[in-house]
Structures are given as structure tokens and as C-alpha cells.
Structure 1
Amino acid sequence: MKKIIYLHGFLSSPLSLKAQLTIEYCQQHYADSIQIVAPQLANYPEQVAEQLAELFEDKQNILGFIGSSLGGYLATYCAKQTGLPAVVINPAAYPYDLLANYLGEHQHPYSKEFFTIDDSFNLSLRQFDVTKQELQALKISVWLQTEDETLNYQEAQDKYQYNELNIQAGGSHAFDDYIEHLPAMLQYLFNSQA
């Protein structure tokens, strides 16, 4: 059985709507062939790096990655590290710039853990960065909605300009009508296998 790794966004969880819809859809349609692995990502970048490294140890059984928002940024890194395809949904192109506006202590809404965002946190996030030039060699399908209230979709449109772009007018950061597009997203992962 092949695995698809689902990576959630900032202050999110495997219990988020998109993660749950992905799990449920694959259980209904690919129960014998696909398992969705959706880890609860740690709050600090260094711990996330360790989590991802552990996932890569099972590379031969991974079909690809799906990531939303900050998870899209991380899924891009995963694609670079493994050579496997990724689908990124309203990805954070430069999260370390965005989170510069979130300095201070936060409580994770799902885990209830407290953590602090500071300059070193954002500097550590840069370890996952993939340049526009590096992206050209990667198999990545990018899904953007223009009315994303959290991220400027044009940043991702520019960064991923050499990848497959699916841009929809309207929508939101949560990616409206996600379940309707999930079959095409999964098909991209299936079709991108070497």
C-alpha cells in the first residue's frame, strides 16, 4: 500500500476539514491501495525537520505529498528532498516573511500547547525554502484561489511559475470546494510517478 503524506498549515491539524476530507475520500475510493498519513506537525521548525526526515525513511512507499498553506511550503521541500510529486494548496511562498507579523507567544488551537515565534523561529523556517530555479525540476501541482484572505496568491503564482498552476477566481484561504478538486489532485500524484 502506498502512502500520501498530508501536511497541514500553521495552527492547524490532521483534524482540519481538508485533512479529514482527504482521509475520508481515500478510504472510500482507494481503501486497498492508498493510505493518507497526516502527522500533527510540531510547533517549532527544528522539530518539524526531524519529523519530515523520519517520514523520508519510508520513501519507497510514498506516492507523494499534499500540503496546504504552510504545509504547502513544507510539501515543496519534501518534493525537493525526495524527488516525489507534490500538490500544494494556497501555499505560503515565503512564510518567514508572513510570520514576522506574528511575533510573540501563541497557543495552538488543537494541541493547546504554547510556543513562541521570534526571529530565530523565522530564520529556522528558511531551511525548508526551495528557490524558483530549483522548482523547475520538481513535479508540483499548485492550486490557488484569488480571494485568499491570508496569503497573496500572486506570490505563489510567481514563485511556482514553472510548475503546473491551477488558479481559480474567488475562493478563500481554506480553498472553497476542495472536495470537488481532490480527485484531480490525486490523479496528478498518480500520473507523476516515474
Structure 2
Amino acid sequence: PAVRPFELLDNYLGENYNPYQDSHYELGTRHMDALRSLYLPQLDTPSLIYLLQQTGDEVLPFQQAVKYYSQCKQHVEFGGDHSFIGFEQTFASIVDFLKIT
């Protein structure tokens, strides 16, 4: 999860290239303002959120997510990366959290 994307993306202001869609785009301050306006200093219903996090995430600071989602159910694993290695091993806990039968 990107807890504070308006800080994470600050270094990408200006012209950018998306290699997956082969397109150029511009990230402007209006986009950052929009992201900032969506930020909730405190979650309204933390019981509805299940954080799946690996400490080796090279993109998002895992400590920030663990702290921000501290009132939520959490599954934090040592190591891994941003792709959440071994995600399929968490299916049972996800199904249980969502109460899917």
C-alpha cells in the first residue's frame, strides 16, 4: 500500500514514460494535490482492511504501512519484495478475512 503517495511520487513530477503502455504523460502538482486530498490521517473503519506486507518491499516503505494500518488486521512477512512473493500462500487467510465460503 502507498500510504502517502504524494510523497512517494514527488521525484516523478514532470514528464514521464510508461513502458507498459508505451506512452508519455506528465505528473503535475494538481495530481499531487488530488492525492493529498484523498489522504486520511486516521482510518474510519480499520476492521475492513487486511494489510499484506513484506519487509523487503523495495518500492513502498513497509514500516510506514505497518504503522498507518496498525489498527487493521496485518500479515507481515520478513523478506519478499513489492510483488509479494508467495502471495498464493495467503489465500486461506484472505478468504477467512472476507468470510468467503
Q: Normalising to structure 2: TM-score of the pair?
A: 0.84
Choose between structure 1 and 2: higher helix proportion.
1
Specify the alignment match of 1:156 in structure 2: 65
Aligned mates of 1:189, 1:112 — CA distance in 2: 36
Aligned mates of 1:115, 1:182 — CA distance in 2: 36
2:17 to 91, 94, 107: 107
Compare relative contact order (CA 8 Å, sep 6+) and give the higher one, 1 or 2. 2
SS of the equivalent of 2:93 reads helix
SS of the equivalent of 2:44 reads helix
- Map 1:47-66; keep pairs closer than 5 Å: none
Shift of 1:108: 2.0
After superposing on structure 2, the runs of 4+ consecutive aligned residues of structure 1 that deviate more than 4 Å are none
SS of the equivalent of 1:179 reads helix
Aligned mates of 1:114, 1:182 — CA distance in 2: 36
Shift of 1:113: 2.5
The answer to whether the 8 Å contact 1:135/1:162 transfers is: no
- In the alignment, structure 1 segments of 5+ residues that lack a partner are 1-90
Aligned mates of 1:190, 1:135 — CA distance in 2: 17
Specify the alignment match of 2:33 in structure 1: 123
Aligned mates of 1:160, 1:139 — CA distance in 2: 11
Q: Normalising to structure 1: TM-score of the pair?
A: 0.47
Specify the alignment match of 1:37 in structure 2: none
Aligned mates of 2:83, 2:63 — CA distance in 1: 16
Paired positions, count = 100
Closer/same/farther in 2, CA of residues 180 and 102 from structure 1, 3 Å limit = same
Shift of 1:135: 4.3
Specify the alignment match of 2:76 in structure 1: 167
Shift of 1:186: 3.2
What's the % identity of the aligned pairs? Answer: 28
Specify the alignment match of 1:25 in structure 2: none
Shift of 1:130: 2.6
- In the alignment, structure 2 segments of 5+ residues that lack a partner are none
- Map 1:61-140; keep pairs closer than 5 Å: 91-136=1-46, 138-140=47-49
